[in-house]
Every structure is written in C-alpha cells, then in structure tokens.
Amino acid sequence: MPRVKLFDEQEVLTKAMNLFWKQGYSATSIQELVAHLGINRASLYDTFGDKEQLFKKAFALYRKQNIDRISQLFQDQPNVKEGFSKLFTKAIDEAMLDTDRKGCFAVNNTTELVPNNESCLEILSSNRRDFENLFYEYLKKGQMKGQISEGKDLRALASFLLILYNGIQVVSKINTDKKELTDSVDVALSLIA
C-alpha cells in the first residue's frame, strides 16, 4: 500500500526555494534541507529527487512566480514607461525591506553556478531569454501605441532594462541608498520615449 504524503509539496518547494535563495546551492546541505523543510530524507528524495533536482524545481517555481508577477504588472499598466517605473520601484522597495539581502535568485545562481555547472547554464540562459522577451513584447506594445518612437532598437532596450533590473538587485545588497538607485532608474527610463 503506497504511503500517504503528510506534507504540502508546494509549501515544501517554496521553503526549499527560500533556503537555496538565502544560502546558495553549494552552501545548502541535504541535512539542512531536511531540517528546514520538516520532512525526512526519504520523503525528500521520493518526492523531489536529489539535491540538484530539488534545486531545479525550486528555481522553476521562482521563475514562474516572477514571470507571472511581472506579466501581471505589465498587463495592469498600459503606459510602458510607467510600467517599467513601477517594476523598478517595486524591486528597489523589496530590496530595501529584505533584511537577508538575498538579491535576485537568478542572478545569485548565475554568479555561483556558471560556468562550472553546465546543466544549470541552460536553465539560467533560458530564464534570461524569457525575461528579455517579456520586456521586449511590452516595449513593442508601447511602440505600437505610439509611446516609444519607431527608431528605437527594442531588443537592445529590453536587454538593457533587464541588465539594469538585475543590476539593481545586486547593487542593493550593498547599497541601501534608495535615492541613488532611483536616480539611476530615472536615467534609464529617459530612454523610453
């Protein structure tokens, strides 16, 4: 007779995501995961696989949550410049409130795992492409509405805005000067016209 799971997989996966995000992949041991998740080792392996498989599932959850969140923000904001302003303001505000100074899980994984973990390289590259395309499609909608001039290279602008978005999440780990970060965003937003 199969055993009944006595835990919520989504809740456990969220806890794993937060632990990996705070500590990094290499610094997180299986024993720490077992203790933090509140499940035994056998349940962890049976449900999620080994540490790397659990990490990839946790990162997939992070990606989905962020893509959904940013997509919704863009849908709710018909003015592209204001939409990006809200995105950056939210990123800065969240960074200022983050006492753990975790930054961006994707950026943290990139700096920790690339170039030594080939299987994670593709996932991280795919993550970058997905977010860049999300930014690009939003910029394209703005251009179609006349909010952005026709001569703009939207692919380059999307890439630049993603680099800035990721950069804010890195710099905010050591620089908590909200005005300085906001001033940098204002310079970048001047390119959207």
109 neighbors 126 (Cβ within 8 angstroms): no
Residue 123: how many CB atoms within 10 A of its CB?
A: 17
**Nearest residue to 61 via CA among 44, 48, 74, 79:** 48
At residue 5, the pLDDT reads 62
DSSP letters, 29-89, are: -HHHHHHHHTS-HHHHHHHH-SHHHHHHHHHHHHHHHHHHHHHHHHHH--SHHHHHHHHHH
Mean pLDDT of 7-25: 92
Report the share of the chain in percent with pLDDT over 90: 68
At residue 99, the pLDDT reads 86
Give domain 77-189's CATH number out of 1.20.140.10, 1.10.132.20, 3.40.50.1860, 1.10.357.10.
1.10.357.10
Is 183 a residue whose pLDDT tops 70? Answer: yes
Cα→Cα distances 99→42, 120, 130, 172, 173, Å: 33, 27, 28, 11, 10
Domain map of the chain by residue range?
1-58, 77-189
pLDDT in tens, 48-71: 999 999 999 999 999 999 999 999
1-58 against 77-189: fold identical:
no
Mean pLDDT score of the chain: 91
CATH code of 1-58, in short, is: 1.10.10.60
